[in-house]
Amino acid sequence: MSELTIQGWTERALADMTADLRTLVELETPSDDKTLLGAGIAAIERWLAERLGEPGERRLHDGGKYGDALEVAYPGTAPGTVLVLCHYDTVWPEGTLTEWPFTVEGDRVSGPGAFDMKLGLVQAVWALRCLSELGMPRPTVRLLLNGDEEIGSPVARPLIERLSEDARATLVCEASADGDLKTVRKGVGLFEVTVTGVESHAGLDPDAGVSAIHELARLVGQIATFGDRERGTTVNVGLIEGGTGCNVVAGSATCGIDVRVSEPDEMARIDAAFAALRTSDGRASVTVEGEWNRPPMVRNPGSDELFEIAESIAAEAGWELGQVGVGGASDGNFVSAFGRPVLDGLGAVGGGAHARHEHVLLDHVPGRTALIAELLMALADR
């Protein structure tokens, strides 16, 4: 069956895909609301059964205080397994829909979570449906939907690492970068530096105290120098708090830090730099807490080959597919860290992730859905 036939099928399905996007967007699923996440994944599982039938395998992994992860497998007609990653949680709190409803204006659709990344899930499901209805070959597809991606995937990470081990490829249906696939992503570290000082009266006995705020201010200057733009490392002190009153020498002060690295070796350098932090006054102390939320996604031969396949599919359909590196991280980072083949950014074309102008462009949906379907077909031959 030709690409035109698959493209034609997805074009005819656009109205139904748009309706499904509305259904998913109107399921509010903020990362920090276990109740809404539970209701959301239950509704999504019912929707999956309506669109694809009952899966061959099904496991619901308890997320504890976080969102559960749903793992379903749809048996293929060819050997091997492809892992498809999507997340159903969003950054938007309950009630956002009241003031910002799902809206269609021509080609543009907006709504909380539409771009990041509920359209990607819709496209993945309809790509599978397309191949099923057209009787096209594909490997077994294992679909993992996690409800904690926006907070670092503490529940999903070990599942992703295990499930990707034997997969021929991992396809991540996160949103694209202006249509380009994401083949490089930065790793993310989230850290908190706390200085404990000595409190005293700022007027009556200032020398008896050691200001944690003053000490932290000195350290912030040092921390800012940890970045190395040439190596793709950025450091942002984004939060700072401390003290109890203007007339009190502060006894405690804390800052929150976001670190992004392009090179795996930079993680060890940053760790050493944090470990070397010292206060200028020995009566004060400094502690560092935090961890690397995700390792960087770097290119590897398997991922490069996947992109070449996708690029060829797009070229045959008459459009150009690019690749790009971005500062944000995704679940694909975990797969890349093991040197396994992964392709990211297969989802929506649009923009405004985590912002009120979040939107998707419907004109691109059939082509992107066909691309996923064609990739699965290509992987059936490997």
Among all residues, which ones are annotated catalytic? 89, 149
Secondary structure (DSSP) of 93-112: PTTHHHHS--EEETTEEE-T
Count of C-beta atoms within a 10 Å radius of residue 161? 15
Given a contact cutoff of 8 angstroms between Cβ atoms, the answer to whether 332 and 342 are in contact is yes
For domain 187-294, say whether CATH 3.30.70.360 is its number.
Answer: yes
Per-residue pLDDT tens digits for 256-272: 999 999 999 999 999 99
pLDDT value at position 92? Answer: 98
pTM of the model: 0.93
pLDDT, one tens digit per residue, over 136-191 is 999 999 999 999 999 999 999 999 999 999 999 999 999 999 999 999 999 999 99
The pLDDT of residue 1: 41
Contact 267, 200 (CB under 8 A): no
Q: Which three-class secondary structure state does DSSP give residue 88?
A: coil
Q: Topology of domain 3-185+297-379, per CATH?
A: Aminopeptidase (3.40.630)
Write the DSSP assignment of 330-348 as a string of letters: -THHHHHTTT--EEB--S-
Q: What is the C-alpha separation between 251 and 248, in angstroms, rounded? A: 8
- DSSP string spanning 216-236? HHHHHHHHHTT-BGGGTBEEE
- Say how many Å lie between the first and final Cα of the chain, rounded: 18
CA 26 from centroid of its chain's CA atoms: 20
Gap between the Cα atoms of 186 and 233, Å rounded:
9
Domain layout of the chain by residue ranges: 3-185+297-379, 187-294
DSSP 138: -
Q: What is each CA distance from 183 to 62, 309, 329, 330, in whole angstroms? A: 30, 13, 11, 11
Digit-by-digit pLDDT tens for the chain (382 residues) are 444 589 999 999 999 999 999 999 999 999 999 999 999 999 999 999 999 999 999 999 999 999 999 999 999 999 999 999 999 999 999 999 999 999 999 999 999 999 999 999 999 999 999 999 999 999 999 999 999 999 999 999 999 999 999 999 999 999 999 999 999 999 999 999 999 999 999 999 999 999 999 999 999 999 999 999 999 999 999 999 999 999 999 999 999 999 999 999 999 999 999 999 999 999 999 999 999 999 999 999 999 999 999 999 999 999 999 999 999 999 999 999 999 999 999 999 999 999 999 999 999 999 999 999 999 999 997 7
Please name which of 11, 5, 63 lies closest in space to residue 368, comparing C-alpha atoms: 11
- Residue 259: alpha-carbon gap to chain centroid: 16
Whether 142 and 73 have beta carbons less than 8 Å apart is answered as yes
